Amino acid sequence: SQQGEEDPQALSIQEGENATMNCSYKTSINNLQWYRQNSGRGLVHLILIRSNEREKHSGRLRVTLDTSKKSSSLLITASRAADTASYFCATQGTSYGKLTFGQGTILTVHP
Amino acid sequence: AAGVIQSPRHLIKEKRETATLKCYPIPRHDTVYWYQQGPGQDPQFLISFYEKMQSDKGSIPDRFSAQQFSDYHSELNMSSLELGDSALYFCASSPLGEGADTEAFFGQGTRLTVV
């Protein structure tokens, strides 16, 4: 990956539990975004956090950003079976908005 | 609401053939991106266009070319196809304007299989 690592690569939990995924990146950024991908389907934007923000919430999602450590985390609270998907972080720098993706975390939520 | 439309959804080609993938961005979006996602891989940036001009280039092979037309739709042309070109190809668009900090809206992708 051009971006860095996502941790863990795979996560298996029970419905109702929380899921935390981590992402590290290498270069300076304008913002960091999280996307979700169901198997073989398109990428769906979840949340965007700007480089001057430290935490952001959207529904059951909570994202943190630590620019000093070049890392971010995505927390999904009270997970549901429908949350089963791959989750990617992607950074957007200064170059006309291209996204650089991390390797993704495969989340499986068991009913 | 209109989304990013890609065609075809599936494409099977033989080695050394040519393929053309099409992307129709969301109306009034001025930026189009192309990404390639191999099996089990993260999406890799290929190329982007802003206001019909190439704005950035990533790891796109010389066998590939792309352009954005006056109606803002974009086409990715792939020649001398190789087995390793088999992947999911995504187009995304965004209303980038003059700055970043904009989410990208992705199409459903074209699954290219080279046999």
| Distance to chain A for B87, nearest Cα, Å | 10
From CA A47, how far away is CA B17, in angstroms rounded? 39
Burial of A77 (0-12, 13-18, 19+ CB in 10 A): middle
B-chain residues near A99 (CB < 8 A) = 33, 35, 43, 45, 92, 104
pLDDT in tens, B5-61: 999 999 999 999 999 999 999 998 888 999 999 998 999 999 999 888 998 899 899
Cβ within 8 Å of residue B49, ≥6 positions away? B31, B32, B55, B66, B67, B68, B74
| Rounded Cα distance, A28 and A10, in Å | 27
Contact yes or no for B42 and A30 at CB 8 A: no
**Contact across the interface for A101 and B42, Cβ inside 8 Å:** yes
Q: Which two three-digit tokens encode residue A75?
A: 């927390």
Distance in angstroms between the alpha carbons of the first and the last residue of chain A: 32
Q: Is A52 an 8 Å CB contact of chain B? A: no
Pairwise CA distance, residues A107 & A87, whole Å: 7
pLDDT of residue A41: 85
Dump pLDDT digits (tens) for B69-106.
999 999 999 999 999 999 999 999 988 664 557 788 99
Strand (E) positions, chain B?
Answer: 5-7, 10-13, 19-24, 31-37, 44-50, 53-57, 64-68, 74-78, 87-94, 105-106, 110-114
Residue spans of chain A under pLDDT 70: 1-4, 94-96
Q: How many CB pairs under 8 A join A and B?
A: 75
